[in-house]
């Protein structure tokens, strides 16, 4: 495995602690040298009921470093909606109730393997709960910077996990600025895409979806987009599966859905730009999507383009009703971020852009426990 800059291509050495590209500051991507013997799926998956089943697609590390709380292997629920075959990937059964556990599991495992002892991040909520739980399990110190408006039960959960909580600013972006000013280099920053392995953890979502579909791809993936790690990880999984020949179908169209309260990716996509510009005055009830200036903007836009996908924004005032409809159709207890993805799917079907007989995976990225 090697680490390559997603923008300028500069290689970085994976056996050392790496953050972003030393030349241009953009995220690094893990690239694997798969061997020709890896052609048979059945021989290369671990019989393990967690995301470590896909160890063959992850950086190789000694097993002792692995942290696991039982993440991954979540259900893929099939429904028919207006003639479209919908697959809900319901991530709410992860240990801390969201898909963030996949990324934190692999990132904190790698941090441990590289000798890191202290991690820090700003978070809109779910990532902090997840990071604190994995830090506790992995015996790492953890400090999180949370916006002041976050629900009390969430900050409590983080501190119950033994993490230090700093309340700072009104958005994750402001909390991140406070963190940058306050922290010295002894703390490792596990913010979205500031290290390369959260994406690798999220990649297991794509591997799992393909396996659950019988080593096949859907036609579309509908993703509620904030920092973008899931979108990037799922796409990366599909490309690796194609390269290995485990799936020999056309790659799906990746669809990023945001809300009109914070839609930097949609704005850049619609204007055919290669980079996002900061979204001014972001405000959304889908807290996980309140990312006004995503570090992975450039990478996401290249994936949307390469997959011939799309990006669309749904209205803030439609989210609550969409959540009720989603939970009825899927039988889930999804939070508002997933409702954004569902509203996006409804609009695409209404507009005839996703037609009858097509197969669309909709991400239910997290549960509603912090919102109820
Ligand atoms: C429930 C939920 N869905 C979606 C997202 C967006 O994820 P990403 O930042 O990987 O795009 C988040 C991020 O906090 C989240 O908590
Ligand atoms: Zn670079």
Kindly give the number of the ligand 1 atom that is closest to the alpha carbon of 294: 9
Same domain, 277 and 357: yes
* Alpha carbon 304 to its chain's center: 15
Residue nearest to atom 12 of ligand 1 (CA): 288
Same domain, 145 and 219: no
DSSP annotation string for 206-224: HHHHHHHTTS---SEEEEE
Distance 365 CA to ligand 1 centre (A): 7
| Cα-based distances in Å from 134 to 74, 150, 191, 284 | 18, 21, 15, 27
Residues in the chain: 372
Q: What pLDDT is attached to residue 57?
A: 95
Same domain, 86 and 230: yes
SS3 content of the chain, % helix, strand, coil (to 5): 40, 20, 40
Kindly give the number of the ligand 1 atom that is closest to the alpha carbon of 124: 14
Residue nearest to atom 13 of ligand 1 (CA): 288
Neighbours of ion ligand 2 (CB under 5 A): 5, 7-8, 10, 21, 23-24, 26
d(C-alpha 80, C-alpha 358), whole Å: 10
Q: What pLDDT is attached to residue 371?
A: 62
| Cα-based distances in Å from 119 to 125, 139, 141 | 16, 11, 6
Taking only the tens of pLDDT, the chain with its 372 residues reads 999 999 999 999 999 999 999 999 999 999 999 877 776 777 889 988 999 999 999 999 999 999 999 999 999 999 999 999 999 999 999 999 999 999 999 999 999 999 999 999 999 889 999 999 999 999 999 999 999 988 888 999 999 999 999 999 988 889 999 999 999 999 999 999 999 999 999 999 999 999 999 999 999 999 999 999 999 999 999 999 999 999 999 999 999 999 999 999 999 999 999 999 999 999 999 999 999 999 999 999 999 999 999 999 999 999 999 999 999 999 999 999 999 999 999 999 999 999 999 999 999 999 997 765
d(C-alpha 101, C-alpha 204), whole Å: 11
Question: Which structural domain range is residue 180 located in?
Answer: 100-189
Same domain, 269 and 356: yes
d(C-alpha 285, C-alpha 323), whole Å: 12
In a domain, 57, yes or no: no
In a domain, 183, yes or no: yes
Ligand nearest to the CA of 19: 2
Same domain, 178 and 249: no
Same domain, 130 and 183: yes
Q: What pLDDT is attached to residue 305?
A: 98
As for ligand 1, residues whose beta carbon falls within 6 Å of it are: 98, 100, 124, 126-127, 192, 224-230, 288-289, 335, 337, 365-366
In a domain, 67, yes or no: no
Which among 240, 338, 238 is positioned nearest to 285, based on CA atoms? 338
Q: What pLDDT is attached to residue 40?
A: 74
d(C-alpha 128, C-alpha 353), whole Å: 36
Distance 253 CA to ligand 2 centre (A): 26
Bridge partners, residue 79, by sequence: 86
Same domain, 255 and 350: yes
Residue where one domain finishes, among candidates 171, 189, 207: 189
d(C-alpha 78, C-alpha 88), whole Å: 6
In a domain, 50, yes or no: no
Ligand nearest to the CA of 124: 1
- How many other C-beta atoms lie within 10 A of the C-beta of residue 16? 8
User: How many domains does one find in the chain?
Assistant: 3
Locus of tokens 């470590």: 52
Q: What pLDDT is attached to residue 34?
A: 84
Distance 179 CA to ligand 1 centre (A): 20
Kindly give the number of the ligand 1 atom that is closest to the alpha carbon of 228: 11
Distance 224 CA to ligand 1 centre (A): 7
Q: What pLDDT is attached to residue 172?
A: 86
d(C-alpha 129, C-alpha 108), whole Å: 13
Distance 264 CA to ligand 2 centre (A): 22
Same domain, 126 and 177: yes
* Domain CATH number, residue 168: 3.40.50.1100
Residue nearest to atom 6 of ligand 1 (CA): 226
Q: What pLDDT is attached to residue 268?
A: 98
Q: Is residue 247 a contact partner of residue 211, using CB atoms and an 8 Å limit?
A: no
Q: What pLDDT is attached to residue 102?
A: 98
Residue where one domain finishes, among candidates 149, 169, 189: 189
Q: What pLDDT is attached to residue 151?
A: 86
Same domain, 212 and 90: yes
Q: Which of 88, 291, 365 should be mutated for ligand 1, with most atoms under 8 A from CB?
A: 365
Q: Which of 92, 100, 203, 326 should be mutated for ligand 1, with most atoms under 8 A from CB?
A: 100
Locus of tokens 């990649």: 203
Distance 26 CA to ligand 2 centre (A): 5
- How many other C-beta atoms lie within 10 A of the C-beta of residue 347? 18
d(C-alpha 204, C-alpha 158), whole Å: 25
- Which residues make Cβ contacts (< 8 Å) with residue 341, sequence separation at least 6? 222, 223, 224, 257, 362, 363, 364, 365
Q: Which of 150, 224, 293 should be mutated for ligand 1, with most atoms under 8 A from CB?
A: 224
In a domain, 60, yes or no: no
Same domain, 215 and 237: yes
Residue nearest to atom 7 of ligand 1 (CA): 226
Q: Which of 99, 190, 204 should be mutated for ligand 1, with most atoms under 8 A from CB?
A: 99
In a domain, 241, yes or no: yes
Same domain, 134 and 250: no
Q: What pLDDT is attached to residue 173?
A: 87
Same domain, 304 and 221: yes
Residue where one domain finishes, among candidates 163, 189, 215: 189
């Amino acid at each position: 495995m090697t680490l390559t800059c997603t923008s300028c291509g500069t290689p970085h050495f994976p056996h050392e602690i790496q953050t972003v590209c030393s030349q241009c500051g953009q995220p690094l991507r893990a690239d694997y040298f798969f061997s020709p013997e890896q052609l048979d799926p059945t021989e290369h998956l671990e019989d393990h009921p967690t995301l470590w089943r896909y160890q063959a697609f992850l950086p190789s590390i000694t097993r002792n470093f692995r942290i696991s709380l039982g993440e991954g292997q979540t259900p893929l629920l099939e429904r028919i909606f207006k003639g479209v075959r919908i697959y809900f990937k319901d991530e709410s059964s992860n240990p801390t109730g969201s898909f963030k556990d996949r990324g934190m599991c692999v990132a904190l495992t790698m941090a441990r393997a590289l000798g890191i002892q202290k991690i820090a991040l700003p978070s809109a909520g779910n990532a902090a709960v997840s990071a604190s739980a994995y830090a506790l399990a992995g015996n790492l110190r953890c400090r999180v910077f949370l916006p002041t408006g976050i629900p009390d039960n969430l900050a409590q959960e983080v501190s119950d996990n033994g993490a230090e909580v700093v309340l700072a600013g009104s958005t994750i972006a402001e909390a991140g600025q406070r963190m940058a000013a306050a922290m010295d280099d002894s703390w490792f920053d596990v913010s979205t895409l500031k290290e390369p392995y959260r994406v690798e953890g999220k990649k297991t979502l794509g591997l799992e979806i393909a396996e659950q579909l019988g080593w096949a791809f859907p036609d579309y993936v509908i993703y509620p987009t904030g920092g973008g790690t899931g979108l990037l990880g799922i796409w990366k999984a599909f490309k690796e599966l194609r390269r290995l020949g485990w799936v020999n179908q056309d790659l799906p169209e990746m669809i990023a859905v945001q809300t009109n309260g914070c839609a930097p990716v949609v704005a850049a996509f619609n204007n055919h730009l290669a980079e996002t510009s900061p979204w001014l005055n972001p405000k959304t009830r889908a807290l996980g999507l309140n990312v006004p200036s995503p570090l992975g903007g450039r990478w996401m836009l290249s994936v949307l383009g390469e997959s011939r996908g799309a990006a669309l924004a749904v209205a803030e005032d439609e989210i609550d009703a969409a959540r009720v409809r989603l939970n009825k159709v899927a039988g889930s207890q999804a939070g508002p971020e997933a409702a954004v993805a569902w509203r996006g799917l409804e609009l695409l079907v209404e507009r005839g852009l996703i037609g009858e007989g097509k197969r669309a995976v909709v991400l239910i990225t997290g549960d509603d426990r912090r919102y109820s």
